[in-house]
Amino acid sequence: MPFSKRRNTRRAAVGSVLFLAGLLCGTLVAIPKLHRVMLSEQVPVDLTCAELMQRGISESSVVRLTDATIVEPTDELEFAMLEPDPNATQTLPVGSGMRAWMSGDKVALAKSTIADALKHPRSKKMMDQLVRGEVVPRGFIGDSVPQPLKLTPGREIAAHALDEVKATGTLTAFVTEDPTSQWIVQSAELLDLTLPTPFLKSAELDQYSLHPISLTESKTNAGIWIGASVLAMTTGWLFCSSAGWGLWILFCPIAAIVGVFGLPLRSGRGNRVTWMLAIFAGASCLVAAYGLAFVLGGLGQTQSTWAWQAAGFIAACAGLALWLGVRGSVKTKRSLALSPRSLDELIAPEKGRAKTKAKRKRASKANQGEEEQYATTGVRQDKLKETLDKNASYSRKYLDPRLSVPANAVASPEATEHNLQWQKSDFEEPLLVEIGRGDAACSVTIQVGCQSLVLAMTDEVEGEVRLRMVSVLDDGHCLVSVDDSYPDLQASGSNDQATLSVFESVSAQKLLANHLEQSANVAEQRHARLVTLDSNEWRDVVLLSERVLKSILHDEGHQKWDICDMTYGRFTYPAQPVRIYQEV
C-alpha cells in the first residue's frame, strides 16, 4: 500500500477512535458531571419515592428520599428477550419479532454463549460499569419489572447508595429525567423489533436517573473531563476531515461520514470567502451550543434535559473544529503554494530562440560600452535623456529612480534576517543596491528565487525595513505584494498594468506565501502564468514595479502622476505580452 494511502488510513482510524471517545465521554460522563457540579449548592427537598413520581422535578434537582431502599443489580443479567419459547421444537411464524427467526434451541444456545462471554473477567468489569441499581420504596413487593427510579450506571454507585441508605435511612441524590426507555421503544418500533411487555409498560411512565450527592465531583474533575472530551472529539473531527478520499472509507465508515463535515477546507481547498464563511459557521455553532445546552437543555438549572445538553456539546466541538480547520486550511494552502509542484504549474511555458541567439550576441557586443556604463550608474543614458527631454515641461512627470551598486555596503541586521528567511525558500544570495527617489536615497537588498518566479526586496528607510515581492505574468501584468509599513501603500488596488496587495504586519516567509497565493489567484483569473526571471533582470523588474505602483496610486486617486510609456528589457509599460526564451 502506498505511503500516502497508509497515512490516510491511520489518520482516519485514529480520528474515528478519538471522535467516538470524545463523543461518548463528553455526552455520557462530562456533561452530567458538569451539570451536577453546577447544582451542588442547592438545598435538598424531602420527598418519598411516590411523591417524586407524582411531582417530578420541581424547585430543586437535589432530593432527599425518606423511604428509599436500593435493589442492587444481580451478578447474572437476565435476557428477557431471549427466553426460550415453550414450543421449542416448532418453527416460529415470521413477523413476531426477534424470536420469529430463532427457534427455542437457538435461543438457548445464544443465551448460553452470551452468558459465558460475560463471565470473562474483562467483560465483567465492563458490565459492572454499565449496570444500574434501582431505587424503590422500603417494603416494596413486586415482580422483576424495571423501575422508574434508577441510579446512574455503575455497580459501585449502587453499593455506595445502599450503604448510605443503611447508615442514614435516606438517600440524597441529584434527579434528572431519563428518557432512555422511551428512546429504546421508539428505536424498536422503527426496526420492527418486539420488546418484552413489562419493559413496554415501564417505558410508559416518567423515568428518572439519580446520582448520590455524596459522590459529587469537584469542579476540577468536571473541568478535566470536559476539556479532555472536547480535545478528543475536536481532534478526531479534524483528523477525519483532513484524510483524503480513498479505499480507507470502506474500512473506516465513521471517519468518512464525519469527514464530510470538513470537505470544503480539506487539502487547502477554498479561499478567503470560504474561510470567512467557515469562521461565521463556527461562530454560529458556538452560539447554537449555548442555546442548546443552557437555554433548551437547562445546563446548571433545575429543569434540564440531557439530550439538549449533549447536542450543545456536539455543536461546541463542531464550532471549535471549524475554527481550527480554517487555520489548518490556511497553513496547508500556504505550504502548497510554496511546494515545487505548485510552482511548476505557475511557470509560463518556454520557447526556443535558436534563430535569434547569434543576433543577440552581436547586439550585445555592439552595446558593450553602453552596458558597462549601465552597470556602473544603473541608468541607461539614452533612455534617461529621452525621458528628460519628453518630460521637461511637466512638473508631475514620473521619472525612474536612480539605481546603483555601492561598494562595501552592508545590510542592516533586520534586513539580513529577512534575507536569510528567503534563502531558506531557495532564493539567491542578496544583492545590496542603492535606490534614489528624488533627493532621497535608501539601501535595498534584492533576491531572485522561488524557481526564479519572484523578486524579493527589503527597502530600508530611516531605520525601518519594508518588504516587497514582485512577479510578472506572461501577459505583462505585474504582481506586487508589500507589507503595511509603506506610508503611501496602505490599501490594495489594481489596474490593467498591475495588482498591488498589502498585507498587515507579516514576516518574510508569510509575505512570500501570501504573494504566491495571490499570484496563483490572479493568474487563474487572467488565464496567464508567471514569467521566469533572470538574475540580471533585477533592474528592469525593480523599475517596472516602481512605475506600476505609481500608476495604481494615480488610478486609485491617491496621487497624481503623468506616466509615459516605457520599456525595460522584456517588460513594457503599459503591459504587453512578455517574450519567453529558452537557451538551446
Strand order in the sheet with 454-461: 402-404, 431-437, 440-449, 454-461, 464-472, 478-483, 498-503, 493-494
276 pLDDT above the threshold of 80:
yes
Q: Looking at residue 356, what is its pLDDT?
A: 38
Chain mean pLDDT for the chain: 76
CA–CA distance, 38 with 61 (Å, rounded to integer)? 11
**Which among 159-173, 409-423, 435-449 has the top mean pLDDT?**
159-173
CA–CA distance, 127 with 115 (Å, rounded to integer)? 12
Query: Is the preceding omega at residue 196 within 30 degrees of 0, hence cis?
Result: no
SS3 38: helix
What's the mean pLDDT in 183-200?
80
CA–CA distance, 406 with 399 (Å, rounded to integer)? 21
Q: What letter does residue 347 receive in the DSSP assignment? A: B
350 pLDDT above the threshold of 90:
no
Q: Report phi then psi at 330, rounded to 5.
A: -65, -45
CA–CA distance, 179 with 199 (Å, rounded to integer)? 13
Taking only the tens place, the pLDDT of each residue in 395-441 is 478 888 888 888 777 778 888 888 888 888 788 888 888 888 766 67
Contact 451, 532 (CB under 8 A): yes
pTM: 0.55
Of 102-111, 225-234, 255-264, 501-510, minimum mean pLDDT range: 102-111
553 pLDDT above the threshold of 60:
yes
Higher pLDDT, 469 or 117: 469
Q: Looking at residue 312, what is its pLDDT?
A: 94
C-alpha 187: how far from chain center: 34
What's the mean pLDDT in 336-360?
49
SS3 content of the chain, % helix, strand, coil (to 5): 50, 15, 30
CA–CA distance, 584 with 562 (Å, rounded to integer)? 41
E strands along 206-341, which residues? 208-212
